[in-house]
Amino acid sequence: MQLAQFTRHLKPSETLAISAKAKALRAQGRDVIDFSVGEPDFNTPDNVIQAAEHAMAEGFTKYTQASGLPALRQAIADKLQRENGLHYEPDQIIVSCGAKHALYNLAMVLVDPGDEVIIPGPYWVTYPTQVEMAGGTPVIIPTTAAEGFKITGEVLRRYLAPATKGIILNSPCNPTGAVYTPDELQDLADVLCNTDLYVITDEIYEHMVYDGLRQVSIATLSPELKERCIVINGLSKSYSMTGWRLGFCAGPADVIAACGHLQSQSTSNPTAFAQIAAIEALTGPQDSVHAMAAAFVERRDFVVARLNAIDGISCPMPQGAFYTFPNINALFGRRANGRTLSNSADVIDYLLDTAGVAAVPGEAFGADDHMRLSYAASMEALRTGLDRLDQAVQQLH
């Protein structure tokens, strides 16, 4: 008996795997500080929880339209107009079980075997795997810290090929925290306007942008390009609702309709009462969104300063999301307890074993010289974790 062909490319999410390892160690009684997670440490706002409780009491416990409640799709259309300057009709919007699910639907409805999809690297772990699951080939454009981990129009042009079907942009970026300025996006839009590529723009960290920068959607830069853009977003990060599994995408009506058909044959609707809670999140008070962003800036500045003070680690200042992405390649070749660290996975294992600190190896994001350390943790945890990390690195020679 053989598994289906596509499972050859199917690997578990490496970020979730590290989190699972950290949780397992904790269950064994180890004191582990987990910087591997991709979720805010804040609670879901009370008004959102209350809206879900009321929704359950009022009977929102049954199937809804497979593509999401009309009222939620309208709330998303209003949000996209209000916050992003993007006009979409509700039939150009689909609600899915998280942005990851929305991206999966898109890979399935847009990518044929043999198609290439351009992904700037370092990239979020899931993008290349989803393209491969659809039979496509991810084409990675590598970037460096010196380039701000961003591609330019000129670089993008070099990667365009007859087989290119689309590109996945992610600003603010997980794992690098890079944020494209409007001018940088315009430079990419100028190149993309002369193609027929689909542009998937993952804007899930849109509210976590710092230093006076502003998140801009590439879909706003050209009406012609907007016809081929699919905007991805969700409730997980902005409203600390990772467990609720609520994401959405907006784009051309035919693409959204195809996603709807796929969803109606696979998952059906996202959880009914979570959809009602999502309406409250999008239309209710937004103070918690701003409070989270303010807390993240303070933590980012602290973590970056601490990391840069450690011999062998150099950390650029991320301008968005809630991750640092330090370069750790100066640690490769160093030894401790009879073991030599040769790559990012070795460093992560060493830190987990020696310091009880969990982070994600850069290898998972296509950048083995780095590690990803989330600062979605309390200041106390960050202080203790960085003290331990510092001591563990000092033990290397």
Ligand X SMILES: Cc1ncc(COP(=O)(O)O)c(C=O)c1O
> Which positions touch ligand X (CB under 6 A)?
38, 98-100, 124, 170, 174, 202, 204, 234, 236, 242, 247
> Contact 72/278 with Cβ under 8 angstroms?
yes
Least separation in angstroms between residue 150's CB and ligand X is 15
Task: Give me the helices (H) in the chain, please.
Answer: 14-27, 46-57, 70-84, 99-110, 126-133, 153-159, 182-193, 223-226, 253-265, 272-283, 287-308, 344-355, 379-394
Cβ-based nearer residue to ligand X, 79 or 334 = 79
Cβ-based nearer residue to ligand X, 98 or 326 = 98
> Contact 312/334 with Cβ under 8 angstroms?
yes
Parallel/antiparallel/unpaired status of strands 371-374 and 323-324 = antiparallel
Cβ-based nearer residue to ligand X, 18 or 341 = 18
Residue written as token pair 């590529």: 197
Q: Which of 328, 329, 326, 331 is nearest to 316 (CA)?
A: 326
Cβ-based nearer residue to ligand X, 120 or 247 = 247
Residue written as token pair 């009506």: 253
- Taking the alpha carbons at both ends of the chain, their separation in whole angstroms is 50
Cβ-based nearer residue to ligand X, 323 or 350 = 323
Contacts for 286 with CB less than 8 Å, ≥ 6 apart: none
Least separation in angstroms between residue 13's CB and ligand X is 9
Least separation in angstroms between residue 133's CB and ligand X is 16
> Contact 233/203 with Cβ under 8 angstroms?
yes
3-class secondary structure, 128? helix
Cβ-based nearer residue to ligand X, 36 or 236 = 236
Distance CA 38, CA 288 (A): 18
Cβ-based nearer residue to ligand X, 90 or 234 = 234
Least separation in angstroms between residue 116's CB and ligand X is 20
Least separation in angstroms between residue 114's CB and ligand X is 25
Cβ-based nearer residue to ligand X, 236 or 344 = 236
Distance CA 97, CA 248 (A): 8
Least separation in angstroms between residue 379's CB and ligand X is 22
Least separation in angstroms between residue 100's CB and ligand X is 3
Amino acid at 3: L
Q: With the CA atoms of 328, 292, 95 and 242 taken in that order, what torsion angle do they form, in degrees rounded to the nearest 10? A: 60
Distance CA 106, CA 232 (A): 10
Cβ-based nearer residue to ligand X, 306 or 324 = 324
Least separation in angstroms between residue 123's CB and ligand X is 9
Residue closest to ligand X when measured from CB atoms: 98
Least separation in angstroms between residue 145's CB and ligand X is 19
DSSP at 369: T
Beta bridge partners of 170: 202
